[in-house]
Structure 1
Amino acid sequence: MKAPMLLKPIETSAASLAIGKKKSSIASLQLLILGFLAGAFIALAAQASTMGAFNLLADPGWYGLGRLVSGLIFASGLVFVILTGAELFTGNVLIASAWLCGQVSAGAMIRNAIFVYIGNFIGSIFVAWLLSLSGLWHGGADMAGAMTIKIALGKVGLSFTEAIVLGILCNWLVCLAVWMSFGTTSTSGKVLCIYLPILMFIVSGFEHCVANMYYIPAGLMALNDPAYVQQVMAAWHIGEEALQQLTWQTFLINNLIPVTIGNMVGGIVFVGMALLYGHGKPSNELIEQVKEEVLK
């Protein structure tokens, strides 16, 4: 085995293009399965981050520490995605750089995005459904379930502009994590590259469309249990009228659509394009050279 490599920035750009080209050639059924797995990994990380920090998040005096604990746990989700080779929509927007450089066709890029997005959605919803049946949300005298609803309510309460901006900021960091992970063949290096940006995004409260495919449906499912509803109403003095704002329609219109748009802008423009043109377009020779090292 060769020693782990650390690529220069322009070499990492070349690796990103080579990986984008490879991803665009994956069969549609495989994309759906790998997308399902990525959605499930992110959902499991989201659930664990909620369970690990719900008491801290419920207390204004400890809210910041709660965000930190959530971030430390949630970051494991992207580690699972990268190390298993699963397909995550928010990271795969970097394929747009390969399209801009003529490495992949627009059709292949769009096909990847559609099947991965659908797979992510199914995987996230599936995990939310399983957890709704598990009884785990009764933890902490039903506070875990109440926090699940509270988080979902906050996300559908964003304005369209807020959701887009928070989506841009989020995927700026997520794609930075993915892009940097391309620059090393060391497992520990990849984990470190992933952890720091993802920790920042969770602590900051930015919006990630795939994570929200879990958070908001989980909140909707939690609404079906009167114990969770009673607890969220008592803990935060939330009325029935406010709870009625949490619907599948507000999930799609108030959050998922604008956050997805923001995530695409953040990843494509501020990471993919910015680093590609900032360091210069890699030559085909460099792409092939790096490809031999990172795509074995």
Structure 2
Amino acid sequence: MATPAVNGFSPQEIARLTTRAAIAKSHLSWTECIVKSFMGGFFISIGALIDLVIISGCPGLRESNPALATMIAAFTFPVGFVLITLTNMELATSNMFVMPFAVLQRRITLWDLTKNWIVSYVFNLAGALFTAGFLAWWSDVLDTAAQTSYAVTQAQNRVDVQWSVNLLRGVGCNFFVAMAFFLSLGATDFVSKVYCIWIPIWAFVMAGYQHSIANYFSIPIGMFYGTDFDVGKFIYQSIIPVTIGNIVGGFLLAALPFWILYGRGDAMNVQTGQPVDEEKKNEPRIDSDDETLRTGEASSGPRSRERYDRDGMADTA
């Protein structure tokens, strides 16, 4: 009996695409990485803003059925991740899974990972603050007392909790973020990609997990309307534990186990229904020695940039 065709790639094949994405990210110029990261912070904050507008605007439902209110509002949040993925922007939390996966394979260097993490994090932050200040607060999107009051409440709920709680909420969040990225690479059409992104991101928001970049929108917007904590407490009680938790979640719950399962051997004999001719089956693996980025090797140049950007980044999108 013939195996039915599958409209997607196997986990082993997705692992190869993940490696190619990491290599492509390591070849981005400083300017490209900065602009992509700013737009990534902007996009994710747009999703957080829509979520906030909806849940803050239904105080009656929040009081009578908070779970339903959370589920409805959380459904809008993944729009930011969809925009990031389909336009091929940079998001630090996704990179906390992608880059360590390729480092474990020795396909990129620790410097590549460090550069990517720092630039994407800092400019994700800038994009989120831009959205909070210009497109939410100054544009008066939250134009009722109920909405501004809830903006303060949700910010305090993210900060006025135990340090360890925010750490673990960050761990849980980035497991789902990594799954959204990994599953989206396995889809071969945009509708499927959107579905693969939407479900995990919707789940982490409903669960109440914490996303370090989204918090740079959600907490400052509450501070603009008058929270009872200052910037110092925001940094210590939210930024530090949630960021550490995101790193731990991306590495320990995604990059490490996926590397153990799919990143150490060929394992390309899984039928998926995707057309693979004999030449394709026998071509060198994407992480073979001729495509490994060695320490000290130039990470840019006309030939390498064309090769990795065109192929690797297209696969990411």
Shift of 1:60: 3.0
**Counterpart AA for 1:40:** F
SS at match of 1:73: coil
Q: Say if 1:51 and 1:144, in contact at 8 Å, map to a contact too.
A: yes
Q: Matches of residues 123-142 of structure 1 in structure 2 within 5 Å? A: 123-130=127-134, 131-139=136-144, 142=145
SS at match of 1:6: coil
Change (3 A) 1:90 1:53: same
**Counterpart AA for 1:266:** G
Over the residues paired in the alignment, what is the CA RMSD in angstroms?
2.1
Distance in 1 between the 2:105 and 2:10 partners? Answer: 19
Distance in 2 between the 1:60 and 1:38 partners? Answer: 33
Distance in 2 between the 1:86 and 1:282 partners? Answer: 29
Shift of 1:285: 2.7
In the alignment, structure 1 residue 163 sits paired with structure 2 residue 163: no
Distance in 2 between the 1:19 and 1:282 partners? Answer: 18
Change (3 A) 1:12 1:149: same
SS at match of 1:19: helix
Shift of 1:282: 4.2
Change (3 A) 1:293 1:118: closer
In the alignment, structure 1 residue 192 sits paired with structure 2 residue 195: yes
Distance in 1 between the 2:224 and 2:35 partners? Answer: 24
Q: Match for residue 115 of structure 2?
A: 111
Shift of 1:287: 2.3
TM-score normalised to structure 1 length: 0.86
Distance in 2 between the 1:252 and 1:98 partners? Answer: 30
Q: Matches of residues 1-296 of structure 1 in structure 2 within 5 Å? A: 6-56=8-58, 59-93=62-96, 94-130=98-134, 131-139=136-144, 142-223=145-226, 243-244=227-228, 246-283=229-266, 285-287=284-286, 295-296=313-314
**Counterpart AA for 1:252:** I
Q: Say if 1:57 and 1:63, in contact at 8 Å, map to a contact too.
A: no
Shift of 1:5: 5.8
Q: Where does the alignment leave 5 or more consecutive residues of structure 1 unmatched?
A: 224-242
Q: Say if 2:93 and 2:246, in contact at 8 Å, map to a contact too.
A: yes
Distance in 2 between the 1:171 and 1:6 partners? Answer: 23
Change (3 A) 1:57 1:13: farther
Distance in 2 between the 1:257 and 1:282 partners? Answer: 36
Q: Which has the higher helix share?
A: 1
Distance in 1 between the 2:313 and 2:172 partners? Answer: 29
1:32-74 alpha-carbon deviations (Å, 9 max, x no partner): 1111101011111111101112244663322111111121100
Q: Say if 2:104 and 2:259, in contact at 8 Å, map to a contact too.
A: no
Distance in 1 between the 2:255 and 2:143 partners? Answer: 42
Q: Where does the alignment leave 5 or more consecutive residues of structure 2 unmatched?
A: 1-5, 267-282, 289-307
Change (3 A) 1:107 1:194: same
**Counterpart AA for 1:184:** A
Distance in 2 between the 1:70 and 1:57 partners? Answer: 12
Q: From the CA coordinates, give the structure whose radius of gyration is larger.
A: 2
Change (3 A) 1:287 1:57: farther
Q: Say if 1:137 and 1:144, in contact at 8 Å, map to a contact too.
A: yes
Q: Say if 2:74 and 2:205, in contact at 8 Å, map to a contact too.
A: yes
Distance in 1 between the 2:285 and 2:179 partners? Answer: 21
Q: Say if 1:168 and 1:266, in contact at 8 Å, map to a contact too.
A: yes
Change (3 A) 1:219 1:295: closer
State the identity as a percent.
Answer: 24
Distance in 1 between the 2:193 and 2:264 partners? Answer: 23
TM-score normalised to structure 2 length: 0.81
Shift of 1:286: 3.0
Shift of 1:215: 0.5
**Counterpart AA for 2:13:** E
**Counterpart AA for 1:98:** A
Distance in 2 between the 1:276 and 1:66 partners? Answer: 38
Change (3 A) 1:173 1:115: same
1:132-162 alpha-carbon deviations (Å, 9 max, x no partner): 11122223xx111111111110111121100
